[in-house]
Structure 1
Amino acid sequence: MKAKPRLDFWQLWNMSFGYVGIQFGFALQNANVSRIFETLGASIDEIPILWIAGPVTGLIVQPIVGYMSDRTWNRLGRRKPFFLVGAILASLALFVMPNSPALWFAAGMLWILDASINITMEPMRAFVGDMLPDEQRTSGFAMQTFFIGASSVVGSLMPWLLSNVFQVANTAPEGVVPDSVKWSFILGGGVYFITVMWTVFRVKEYSPEEQQAFHGEDPGQGDAAGGADFELNHQRYAMGGSLLVVGGVVFTALIQSLGWDKGLYILSCGAGAYGVLQLIAAWRYRAGSRSGLVEIIHDLGNMPTAMRQLALAQVFTWFALFAFFIYATGAVTSHHFGSSDPQSVAYNEGANWVGVLMSVYNGVAALVAFLLPILAKRTSRVSTHMACLIIGGFGLASMYVFRNPHFLIISMIGLGIAWSSLLTLPYAILSSVVPYRKMGVYMGMFNFFIVIPQILAAAVLGLLVRTVFNGQAILALVLGGASMVVAAVLMLRVKDEHHGT
Structure 2
Amino acid sequence: MTNKFKLSFWQIWNMNLGFFGIQFSFGLQQTAVNPIFSFLGADHAQLPLLNLAGPVTGLIIQPIIGAISDKTWVPGWGRRKPFFMIGAIIASLSLFAFPYSSELWFAVGLLWILDVGNNTAMEPYRALVADKLPEEQLTYGFQMQSLFVGAGITIANFSIFLFQDWFSHHDIASEICDPTSAMVSGIPTWVYYSFFLGAVASMGTILWSVIKTPEIPPSEKELEILKRNNDIPFLKKATAPILEIIGAIADMPKLLKTLSVVYLFQWYALFIYWQFITPMLRTSIYGISNNDILKFETIKALCMSGSVVSPADLEFAEGIQRLSEQALSQTGLMNGTYNLVTMIVALALVPLAAKFGNKLVYVSSLFLTGIAMLVLPFIQDEILLLLPMILLGIGWATIMGVPYSIVSKVIPNERRGVYMGIVNMMIVVPMFIQTVTFGPIIHNLLNDNPVNAILFAGGSFMVAGVLAIRLNTSESNI
Fold equivalence (TM over 0.5): yes
Give 1:464 deviation, angstroms: 2.0
Q: Greater shift after overlay, 408-417 or 19-28?
A: 408-417
The one-letter code sitting in structure 1 at the alignment partner of 2:63 is P
Q: What do residues 352-393 of structure 1 show as CA deviations (whole Å, max 9, x unaligned)?
A: 101110001111111110211111100110111001111111
Q: Describe the SS at the equivalent of 2:446.
A: coil
Corresponding residue for 1:13? 13
Sequence identity, in percent?
36
Q: Describe the SS at the equivalent of 1:405.
A: coil
Corresponding residue for 1:72? 72
Distance 2:393 2:188 in 1: 28
Higher RCO (CA < 8 A, seq sep 6+) = 2
Give 1:226 deviation, angstroms: 9.2
The one-letter code sitting in structure 2 at the alignment partner of 1:164 is D
Q: 1:225 to 1:126 in 2, by over 3 A?
A: farther
Distance 1:153 1:335 in 2: 24
Corresponding residue for 2:376? 399
CA contact (8 A) 1:39 1:174 kept: no
Give 1:86 deviation, angstroms: 0.2
CA contact (8 A) 2:168 2:189 kept: no
Which one of the candidate residues 235, 239, 243 is aligned to 1:294? 243
CA contact (8 A) 1:129 1:431 kept: yes
Structure 1 portions without partners, runs of 5+? 210-218, 229-283
Q: 1:81 to 1:221 in 2, by over 3 A?
A: closer
CA contact (8 A) 2:2 2:216 kept: no
Is residue 189 from structure 1 mapped to residue 199 from structure 2 by the alignment? yes
Corresponding residue for 2:468? 491
For residues 1-150 of structure 1, the aligned pairs below 5 Å read 3-74=3-74, 75-150=76-151
Corresponding residue for 2:392? 415
**How many residues were matched structurally?**
433
The one-letter code sitting in structure 2 at the alignment partner of 1:366 is M
Distance 1:289 1:151 in 2: 34
RMSD: 2.3
Distance 2:425 2:95 in 1: 24
Q: Greater shift after overlay, 17-26 or 53-62?
A: 53-62
The one-letter code sitting in structure 2 at the alignment partner of 1:97 is F
Distance 1:36 1:291 in 2: 39
Q: 1:168 to 1:78 in 2, by over 3 A?
A: farther
Corresponding residue for 1:474? 451
Q: Greater shift after overlay, 437-446 or 296-305?
A: 296-305
Is residue 456 from structure 1 mapped to residue 433 from structure 2 by the alignment? yes
Q: What do residues 54-89 of structure 1 show as CA deviations (whole Å, max 9, x unaligned)?
A: 211111001110011101101200000000000000
Q: Describe the SS at the equivalent of 1:344.
A: helix
Q: 1:227 to 1:11 in 2, by over 3 A?
A: farther
Structure 2 portions without partners, runs of 5+? 176-182, 230-234, 297-319
For residues 302-313 of structure 1, the aligned pairs below 5 Å read 302-313=251-262
> TM-score scaled by structure 2?
0.86
The one-letter code sitting in structure 1 at the alignment partner of 2:126 is R
Q: 1:225 to 1:125 in 2, by over 3 A?
A: farther
Distance 2:263 2:425 in 1: 9
Higher helix share: 2
Q: 1:155 to 1:227 in 2, by over 3 A?
A: farther
Q: 1:179 to 1:338 in 2, by over 3 A?
A: same
Corresponding residue for 1:276? none
Corresponding residue for 2:310? none
Q: Describe the SS at the equivalent of 1:398.
A: helix
CA contact (8 A) 2:86 2:120 kept: yes
Give 1:175 deviation, angstroms: 2.8
The one-letter code sitting in structure 2 at the alignment partner of 1:184 is S
Q: Describe the SS at the equivalent of 1:493.
A: coil
Q: 1:71 to 1:85 in 2, by over 3 A?
A: same
The one-letter code sitting in structure 1 at the alignment partner of 2:10 is W
